[in-house]
Structure 1
């Protein structure tokens, strides 16, 4: 075989904590010595520092990919590595490498003396590659086992960026008191039907930023409350393992209540919900095209008043643009609808307080006790690992379902009104959303028709058509 004229040296080390590249420099020296002994000329060095080549690594190896492209293109005609496990720790990748070497006829050598020119040499090289992969996988098993044991002991993963609510450098074991108080204030706002946007504004007004120094946004707030660490929940590979032994900004029950609130906000808003400036915004429909009518303040000839109109740039109920035919004063419509809502509320009895959730709480405690006893049996060696983890997974799913139901009930109870009429008569600005919720329990929608221009007398009552919410028929018209 002809002597190579352009040799590529590939050097790699999996971890370099100090970044001094001492490992790859030692490999490069050994590879250069081998080239000198054989009289080969070094053309290029392909270094991969702090880069794993194991089956568990997700890092890309750009230098390795570049080296293979150069070998296929004939830029280099030989590859030298320190040992086979520096080239790869994946048997599939090694097999592909040997096939490409044969196809493109470049030479290959290691400082350990492997020979790929014979079948026996390739077999030995393949065996060494399989051993390297096995070592990597066994190491991963030991590490995963140790990580799982830490999780079972209630110790959270200590890595990653600092999270809001925890002290920097504490490995999620100590709370930042000021940030924890803000998280709890935000929790109380969310369960009282405030939005994540309200929480982000409150946190910003208090002069705080995200742990990375950015301004609070709705998504940033959601990430805080979506994180299991906020509720002191330990997870392993996405599975709920147990509760942390260290303090957390919220309890597990509070965290699960917040998830119910956020999940509900993620679904399409119900009629009458959402941020509005007017009580009946969203309920008024154009009587001609069924488009949702807008409400706004207008000033005409020095007079300022509110009007509702069909917007010709907005899609109607038939998918087309609004007709723009209806333009009415809003206050007369408000007076008429207020009469309808109050009359309906006067016929109702106050909603009784929500029943206690003692039964669900007892079921949660029973499931938690079963998990505690199961863990005790496993620690005492009276259960096999496989049986333990299968049983634990089943019980954890059951417990999660119970806690979700309990949290749902708690969240629902915070929204129960004991006297809708009292809520309706509170016309303060901060009570607008609650009043709209009361409207949605009485009125399904209101069709508004045009009354013509220049009409100064009060409009006819049939110029609006009110569809009421009815338990039996789903709605009736007035």
Structure 2
């Protein structure tokens, strides 16, 4: 029997919100109802009572939750609303990114978001893509001012290179660190090993600026830094991607500014020539796939298809079936257009609304019946006390009512949880369908990682037959598959 999904419940109530409808008990009860309706299992409850939402990431309970998430103890987190998870937008995005990387789900009952559903996942993917566009736009505005400041010799942020210091916006030699920086080049020229250089420095008692031991990575960075020979590079790197990885800009954008030298240029050149030779001898690592549908494309024989040559074709090694990357991308975009642009949103929304209305009617009837039964029970008690009913007669009438009330006590929360689920489906599906057209219109402008995130979210499989391509994607409302067949030979 398949194990149930294990999730946590997150409860954070600030001191000014300790009221009946927003109490910790109310939050927990509602979360348990929803979890029960999904046939999941409560693994942990994380309580942050009377805690401000300004920052919670470093709270012990938040750290315990993240530890459980990374260890696999939980694979989802349910909370009453986003503001209860954290009030800081920055921390909300951080939580969302951590859960996305761990392949786990976030469920916000008030906002009706559940990333375990296809619509919920796409909802967050779209939100993340929009946020990325906004970040890139802000970054581009900031980047525009960097070359101007660099040419003026002004600091661009960050610390001065080891061996130097900024003083009154001027780069000067740091008399305390400079001898150690010189020693790095001298030791490396002698031993020609970065690790050995780091070990010798550490044995001599030298440490980095923050007090850490020197490492081979630090040694490599300092040896490569041209500042030591009197040529400070500015505007030569930028940060990209989700992890904000630093990469080099094109050399024509670099700005070289003179600065005080610590070593002569000949020593710098000798050390860097050694580094260059060592880099050539290393085994080259494989590059990340540059193809949008890599890993999804399979031949009709069941064999995965990959791009093996410069011809840029997905090829089956088994039966030699193939399709060009361009044709495959064109077919997928046709499917995407039909999926995001041409489908009638009303079909999906009416389907969910019908299920929701049915459950809401049943809930109202169940609540009325529960109240009626409780009243009948209350009316019987005075009759028994006054002696109008003997014990046997009372038990015969009263016990069936008790059984019915107990049954409703169980079924009503389950029904409330099911309604929460349908409302979440309705909200996220409605949002996705309304934003679908805009998403498709922006497709050509999106960066590869953003497109790839969409593909990974909605694509189940791609099968290449002799003359056709079959693309299967997740149905937003039900999680079932929608398949589309295209004749790529004529496309």
Using the size of structure 1 for normalisation, the TM-score is 0.31
Query: Of Structure 1 and Structure 2, which has the larger fraction of its residues in helix?
Result: 2
The structure having more radius of gyration, on CA atoms, is 1
Using the size of structure 2 for normalisation, the TM-score is 0.31
